[in-house]
Amino acid sequence: MAAPVCRNARPVLPRWSALSTRFRGFSSRPARTPVRPVESADGTGGGLKAEDLAEKIRREKRDAAVEKKQQQQVPTSPLQERVRELKKLSGQLQQVHPNVLAKVLKQGLLFENENLIVVNKPYGVPMDGGPNVKNNIADILPTLAKMLGGMRAEPLHICHRLDKETTGAFVLAKSQGAAECIRKLLKTHQLERKYWAVTVGVPVPSEGVIDIPIVEKEIAGPQPHFKMALSPLYRLNEESDKMTRIRPAQGAQSAVTRYGVLSSTGNSALLEVQPVTGVKHQIRVHMAYGLGCQILGDHKYAHWNKLAPQKLPERMLQKLGLEQAKVRHLPLHLHLRQLILPGVEGQEEIRVICPLPKFFFGSLKKLKIKLPDKDKK
C-alpha cells in the first residue's frame, strides 16, 4: 500500500553545510579585494591596514571638528570672554519663560511689608510690552503676586518706571490705594531715588545741580529717530556777555538733577545722581549734554545726529579689556542704588539699598574706581 501523500508538506532541503559545499565557488556579491597592509615610510612593510588607516582619518576629522566647535564656543582671550559675557547679558532674560522671569524678581526681593514690595530690576527687561518684546515686568506681575502671596493674592501695581537698560530698586504696591500714595510721594519729591552711574569723563565741578528743561526732538538724517534733548531757558548774549532768557520750546518739561562724584580715576568716575523731577531719560540727557560726561554704555546719547556705539578713549578700552568694535555690547551703567520712603501715618522711614549688578561691579574693578568706604559690601 502506497504511503499517504501530504500536499502541504514542504520539500526537504539539503543542509546549509551541504549547499555551502556545493556552491562554494559561487557568490552573488562582488569578490572582496583582500586587505593589504600599507607599507610604512621606511619600506619595512610593517604599516597599518587600509581599513585601519581609513578609521584613523575619520577619527582625526572628528577630533578636528570638535576642536573647531570648542574654539568657536570658548573664548580664547580675555577680550573674547568679556564680549561673550556682555552678549549673554544683553539678551538672557528676553529668551526665558515668563515664569522664570517672575522667579528672578522674587529672588531679587529687597523689602516687603503689608503695603508694598521693593524688587531688584535686572538689566535688559522693559517695564511694559511693545514691538519685539517677549518679556516685560507688567505682564509677569500676576505670576509674581501669586508667588509671593498665594493664589488669592491681589495684583501688584507699578508705582514708577525704570528704563529697559537701567537696573536697580523699583516699588510695586499691593493695592491701588498704596500705589496712588507712592505716586503722590514721587510727585511731591518726597520719595528719594539715588542712582549710581559710571561716566566717561569726570564732571567739573564735582557736585552740583543741573536745572535745564528737556524736550523730545525728532532727529533727521540717514537714521531718523527721536531723542530727548536739552531746552535751555537762557542763552549767552554775544554782544553783552550776559545771559538772556528765551522762550521755552513747545513741549519742554522742567528737569532738575542733583549729582556728586563719589570716586574717580583717570577719565572715568562713579557718580551719585538724584533726579528731583521725573522726565524721560532725564539723568542720561543731563549727564551727556549738560555735564558733557556720558554714562558708560549709553549708546543712544553717545552721538546727537546718529545712532552708533559709544566712542571710548583708548586707555578706557584697555582697562575694560575691549576693542572699539565690540563696545556696542557694553551695557548701560546706571543703577538705582537707594530708595528712601518717608514715614507715613506714624510709620518709620523706609530705606532700601540695592546691590550692584555683577557687570557694574566688574567695570568699577577694571577701571580701578574705588567704592566709598561705607558701600564696600
Question: How does pLDDT run across 55-71, given as a tens digit for each residue?
Answer: 878 887 877 776 666 55
Q: Which three cell numbers stand for residue 50?
A: 587600509
Query: Which of these is catalytic: 139, 163, 211, 375?
Result: 163
**Inside any domain, residue 131:** yes
- Pick 329 or 11 by higher pLDDT: 329
Q: What is the pLDDT of residue 16?
A: 41
| Average pLDDT value for the chain | 84
Task: Give the Å distances, CA to CA, from 358 to 123, 312, 337.
Answer: 11, 21, 14
**Inside any domain, residue 53:** no
Q: Which long-range contacts (CB under 8 A, 24 or more apart) does 176-185 make?
A: 178/115, 178/116, 181/115, 181/344, 182/116, 182/341, 183/159, 185/341, 185/342
CATH number (domain holding residue 284)? 3.30.2350.10
Q: What is the pLDDT of residue 222?
A: 82
**Inside any domain, residue 222:** yes
Residue 208's DSSP bridge partners are: 259
Q: What is the pLDDT of residue 17?
A: 42
Give the domain extent around 352.
79-370
Q: What is the pLDDT of residue 36?
A: 52
| Confidence class for position 79, pLDDT limits 50, 70, 90 | low
d(CA 73, CA 300): 30
| Dihedral angle sign, alpha carbons of residues 75, 76, 82, 83 | negative
Q: How many CB atoms lie within 10 A of CB 176?
A: 11
Whether the per-residue pLDDT at 247 is higher than 80: the answer is yes
**Inside any domain, residue 91:** yes
Question: How does pLDDT run across 114-170, given as a tens digit for each residue?
Answer: 999 999 999 989 998 777 777 899 999 999 999 999 988 899 999 999 999 999 999
Whether the per-residue pLDDT at 374 is higher than 60: the answer is yes
Q: What is the pLDDT of residue 280?
A: 95
d(CA 131, CA 273): 31
Averaged over 107-113, what is the pLDDT?
96
| Confidence class for position 14, pLDDT limits 50, 70, 90 | very low
Give me the percent of the chain exceeding a pLDDT of 70.
Answer: 80
Q: What is the pLDDT of residue 161?
A: 92
- Would residue 163 show up in a list of annotated catalytic residues for this protein? yes
- How many domains is the chain built from? 1
**Inside any domain, residue 153:** yes
**Inside any domain, residue 167:** yes
Q: Which three cell numbers stand for residue 136?
A: 516685560
Q: What is the pLDDT of residue 178?
A: 93
| CB proximity list for 124: less than 8 A, separation 6 or greater | 89, 90, 91, 92, 93, 94, 164, 165, 331
| Confidence class for position 72, pLDDT limits 50, 70, 90 | low
Whether the per-residue pLDDT at 40 is higher than 50: the answer is no
- Pick 91 or 172 by higher pLDDT: 172
Q: Which three cell numbers stand for residue 80?
A: 573674547
pTM of the model: 0.77
C-beta of residue 232 within 8 angstroms of C-beta of residue 212: yes
What is the phi/psi pair of residue 243, to 5°?
-85, 130
